[in-house]
Structures are given as structure tokens and as C-alpha cells.
Amino acid sequence: MTDHGAVPEFDDAEHPAEPTPDADAPSPEPEAGDEDRDPEPDTGTDEATERASTGADAVVAALSTAGVETVFGVQGGAIMPVYDALYDADDVSHVTMAHEQGAAHAADAYGAVTGDPGVCMATSGPGATNLVTGIADADMDSEPVVALTGQVPSDLVGNDAFQETDTVGVTTPITKSNTFASSADEVGDDVSTAFALANDGRQGPTLVDLPKDVTTTETTVDPSEPVVPDTVSVQERADDDAVEGAADAVAGADRPVILAGGGVVKGGATDELRAFAREHEIPVATTMPGIGAFPEDHDLALEMAGMHGTGYANMATTMTDCLLAVGTRFDDRLTGGVDSFAPDATVVHVDIDPAEISKNVEADHPLVGDASTVLDQLAAAMDASPDTDEWVGQCADWKTEYPMDYAVPAADSDEGDGAPDASAFPDDEPVKPQFVVEAVDAATDDDTVVTTGVGQHQMWACQYWTYTEPRTWVSSHGLGAMGYGLPSAIGARVAADDDQSVVCFDGDGSFLMTCQELVVAARENLDVTVFVLNNEAIGMVKQWQDAFFDGRRMASEYPWVPEFDALAEAFGADGFRIESYDDVPDTVEAALATDGPAVVDVYIDPTEEVYPMVPSGGDNGQFALSEGHL
């Protein structure tokens, strides 16, 4: 997929190939399906020119066995043998990223969109440490990722050798499992096991550290199919008695709420959850990773709850007497202070990870198991539906009382087809970011994948886009890693169907952290459209400074940001700019129509803030609608 000539020049300078004789490998051009340049026949008749099979070949064979189609990575000294083996791999393509953080985020997003592990690859030392942010992100969000890192030869490990880092040590707290590959005969199985573990039960990142002697040593051992180690077992079905108790609690509730977490999406339980909610007329709130689990245009949808959740989701989750929480770890951004989180609720908690049960919020009815299996069990155990007419009416009233409005009443700006009308807005006023989110939503199909960076733009993308399908919302939820947007859009683009659009909302601060990945999107001609909601600040910090630090805006204003449209063009992408409401419809249309990467620099109202808001550790029911409420 990649052309070696386009590998960024700084890469060689920052990660020079290790000056050892065994690094004297052919120029790494991991081109899939380019048979013209492959001098070696598939069935070797000439033994002299046939390269013997090595640990690196076993690694690549393990990738093939696991069904990997694409690897995101960056070359470097200690990983060169694996890249050399990829040179001959017809079924595994490689996307050369500009920076290893980009590779990890791209792999993470690939995992989020497909549900299968995304793969990232980097060399030892700085290559591996640059992956760390992306691995930590995948760990927090339970995304399946397999990271392969080069390592110095085993006999140099522990000597503080050139580009040596204790990668296993560094990544132990942020992986489900990691391994130092100790022999060429076992390295293929190490990689296979890493795939199995990344995918098994609660998904997450795994890592295999590959010393250069292991990948260059000859071996004839083929990797086996991915299987988890014997010590690992995952409970798929919840205890039947516990299910009966939970069903009684739900059926007997007056004010039930379903809280759909990321586990609903990852567990493929969207259909079961939607059916359950509709059958029993139970309103559904989601966590941020749970966005897409339930269609936000449905009457029962309360949308996202928590710090920047909707007023109605926070009222309902606060006043509920029975919370059916599925696949959520009750993160503090969701719960606010636990003392005031759903304090009247009997909690039914469905999760595949028993350690999440009663970790943050006590589960009255713990149901350990796979989300779809347990929801089927629960559906079968429901003898009656709760009487929710009054409660659903109350939730509807809250929707009316706390509309997700901005600046102008929705009725004035909506022509009835869902598309906001730019002409209803004064042209001398700066563009509201929410309007842009709604305009892009209206201009794209329901299956469009949205990725974001982290900050205000991310919250507006949560709040003002109407998500209806699972795996269309890709973001850095738990880690909150600014810079996630563009590389994740690249990963999502590679993962998504050809007829699916991929849109990235980014902020100027977030975009500046990883904008070099534009070179990848341009080189690979990846059709992604980035909307930089540019307020010349890291706006969320600025908003907090205004609210909690007496407006002392230390290091949060970025009056020196480049012209992002010009920057995009310098990278070989198409650049656009929106400066007023009049620009919005045509520019959005033109940018989306671009066949390849496009960046739209959107000059948004720099005074716009994100509300509702629950301050850290606050009471969700007391969400602020404006700064005066904080």
C-alpha cells in the first residue's frame, strides 16, 4: 500500500537503522501484490537464492493466520527483519504512518470500526515509546489492538543498548497482556496468542516485543491458530438465578433507565439492547463509548449521560429507581460524584469483566457475561413489562425542558428535513460549531464514521450529531488523548466499507498534535474529511480557566495557529475554509465531495462553550446549563 520513497525523511534521522551487519537487509518496501518486484518464486526451486524462514517470517505468518489485512507502522532498526518478511507477504498490506502514535491510534480506530484487532508496528526504544499513548488509549477504551515492537538483540537487553527501552515493563500497566518473545520457534505462537487475548472477552491491547535475534534466527515452526492461554476463561452466560432477580427488578421498576456502554457496541449486542428497550418501553441513555448503541432519533433515546451529557439523560439517570447498565465501567466522567449517581436506583450491571462489577458503583444484580447473551437471557426472563407510561412522559418533558439548543431556537433553523438552514443565521456573526456539526450530519449518510480529537469539538460532535448506528462513533473516551482525530480517521478509513464516509471533527489544538499524518492520507489518497473547529485555543482548558481559575488563561490561547487549509495543501490534501454561515453549505458539500483527504478550517465563534456541564465529582442532576450555574 505504501511507496518507500514517500516515507518521511525525518524518520531516518530520528530512528536510524541500527548499524549492524544483519541490518543490511533489502530496502523495505512492503508492497502487497506487487509481483513485478518480487524476484523470488513462490515455490523455491533455486535453494541458493531462497531465503531461509526466520522468526520474522513466523510473525508475519501469524498475522496471516489471524486474518490481518493491514498493519499500521513505522520502520526502524530493530523491527527491520519483520518489515523484510512483510516484503514478501501478499495478503498483509502496510500503511506507513508519519509517527508511531499515529500508527497506534490508526490501529485502535481500525479495531473500533471492524471489531477485529488493529495492528501497529514500531521499532525499539523511541518507536515503542511513541506507541504508548495509543496503547494506553486502547486499554482505556477496551479496543482490540496488537502492537508489535522491535527490540535490541537478546544478548544486549539490559545493557542500555542503542534504542533499548524496557518495552514490556513500560507497557505492562496499559496492556491486557504483553510478552517478550524469547525464541524464534515460539515467536509465531506468541503473536497468535496476542491476537487471541486482544479479542477475547473484554477486548484490549496486547503487545509482543521482538528482539532482533529472535526475528532473524531460522525456524521451521509455523504459528498455530490464535488461542488464549489455558489460565484464561471468560464467562459468556450470566447465572440464571441472578438473571431472574434482575428481571424482577426491571419489571417491577417505576422509573427504569437503560445505560448502554461501549460493551454493547463491542459485544455486538446493539440489536438485543434495542429490542429490549422497545419491547419494555424503557428510556435509553448511553455513555460516550456507548454512542451508537441506540438510535438517538428514537423517542426513547436520552442520548449521552455524564459530564457533558444531555440534561434529560442526567435527569433520568439521577431520578431512576432501576438502572440497567450494560457494558460500562462507570467512569467518573459518567457518574460525577458516585455519592449522587443514580442514588435511588437498584443497579443491574451486565459486564463481561467481573472486575468491573461493583468497582465504582455497587451492583445489586451483577450479571457477568457477554452483553448479547445476557440481554437474551434477561429478555427471556422478563415475565412482565414495567409500567413506564408516566416515566416515559416525564423523560419527554425533560427533553422539552432541556433542549440541546444553541444560540437560536431549533425551530427557526430547521427546515423540517433535519438540515439546518444557514440563511436563518446572521452572516456577520461567527459560526457556531454546533451548526457545523449539524450541517455535516445532514449532508452525510447515517453510516458515516465520525472520529474526533479531544476537547470542546469532541463534545459538540457527541451532542449535535445524531448517531443511529454502532461503530460510527470513534473517539478517545477514557484517555482523552488530544491528537487522536486524524490518525483515527486514517485507521477508520482503511477499516470502513468503501461506500461509507469518514469524517473527522478536530480542534485546532488537537489537530496540531498529529497533523503530520496528513501526509499519509495524501500519499494513500484516503478519502477523509477533517473539519477543524478552530477557535484559536485549547478551548476546553480555556472554558475551565474561565469557570474555575478566574479567567486566567495561562497557555490555552493559540493565536498563532497556521492556516489549516494552506497547511493541508502543503501536505497534498485539499484545503477549504469556512468563515461565515454563508460558506457552510457549499463548503461542506465541496469538502465531502473531494475524492481524497480534505481539511476544512472552520473559524468558529471563539466564545462558544460546552454545556450542559457537570463539574468533576459533581452531582449529575445539578448539571450547569451555563457558567452561572457552576
Partner 1 sequence: MSGRYDQQGLPGPAPEERQRPRGRRNAQGIRIDPEAEAEHPPRRTVISALVEHEPGVLARVSGLFSRRQFNIESLTVADTQNDDWARITVVVEEPDPGIDQVEKQLAKVVPVIHVRELEADALARELVVVKVDADRPEEVHAITEMYGGKTLDAGPRTVTVELTGDEQKIDDAIDAFRQFGIREIARTGQTALARGETKTAVVPDHLK
Question: Crossing angle for the helix pair 100-114 and 126-140, nearest 10 degrees?
Answer: 30
Among 101, 80, 64, CA closest to 150: 80
Candidates 32, 157, 232, 561; binder of partner 1 (CB under 8 A) is 232
CB of 628 to partner 1, least distance (A): 8
Residue closer to partner 1, measured from CB, 16 or 229: 229
CB of 278 to partner 1, least distance (A): 26
Q: In what order do the strands lie in the sheet with 528-534?
A: 473-474, 449-452, 502-507, 528-534, 598-603, 574-578
Question: Which residues in 293-397 belong to E strands, given as ranges?
Answer: 301-304, 322-326, 346-351, 365-368
CB of 582 to partner 1, least distance (A): 16
- x/- contact string, 589-628, with partner 1 (CB under 8 A)? ------------------xxx-xx--------xxxxxxxx
Burial 197-229 (b: 16+ CB within 10 A, else e): bbbbbbbbbbbbbbbbbbbbbebebebeebebe
Counting contacts by CB under 8 A, is residue 161 touching partner 1? Answer: no
| Catalytic (active site) residue 540 | yes
The residue annotated as part of the active site, out of 212, 266, 432, 542, is 212
| Catalytic (active site) residue 100 | yes
CB of 152 to partner 1, least distance (A): 17
For the segment 100-159, give every residue that binds partner 1 (CB under 8 A): none
Among 433, 435, 428, CA closest to 412: 435
CB of 564 to partner 1, least distance (A): 26
Counting contacts by CB under 8 A, is residue 338 touching partner 1? Answer: yes
Using DSSP bridges, classify how beta strands 598-603 and 528-534 pair: parallel, antiparallel or unpaired.
Answer: parallel
| Catalytic (active site) residue 163 | yes
Question: Which residues in 77-187 belong to E strands, given as ranges?
Answer: 93-96, 118-122, 145-151, 177-180
d(CA 466, CA 187): 45
Counting contacts by CB under 8 A, is residue 341 touching partner 1? Answer: yes
Candidates 361, 367, 538, 540; binder of partner 1 (CB under 8 A) is 361
Candidates 33, 426, 446, 616; binder of partner 1 (CB under 8 A) is 426
Tell me the backbone φ, ψ of residue 422, rounded to 5 degrees: -65, -30
Counting contacts by CB under 8 A, is residue 315 touching partner 1? Answer: yes
H/E element, 519: helix 518-523
DSSP string, 350-367: EES-GGGTTSSS--SEEE
Counting contacts by CB under 8 A, is residue 5 touching partner 1? Answer: no
Among 546, 548, 599, CA closest to 570: 599
CB of 73 to partner 1, least distance (A): 25
Residue closer to partner 1, measured from CB, 53 or 340: 340
Candidates 424, 442, 570, 590; binder of partner 1 (CB under 8 A) is 424
Residue closer to partner 1, measured from CB, 70 or 317: 317
The residue annotated as part of the active site, out of 162, 359, 394, 536, is 162
d(CA 569, CA 461): 25
CB of 129 to partner 1, least distance (A): 18
Residue closer to partner 1, measured from CB, 326 or 486: 326
Q: Which stretch binds partner 1 (CB under 8 A): 129-137, 334-342, 369-377, 480-488?
A: 334-342
Using DSSP bridges, classify how beta strands 145-151 and 205-211 pair: parallel, antiparallel or unpaired.
Answer: parallel
Note the residues at the interface with partner 1 (CB under 8 A): 168-169, 172-173, 176-177, 180, 197, 229-233, 311, 315, 318-319, 330, 338-345, 353-355, 357-362, 401-409, 412-413, 424-426, 429, 607-609, 611-612, 621-629
Active site residues: 100, 162-163, 212, 540
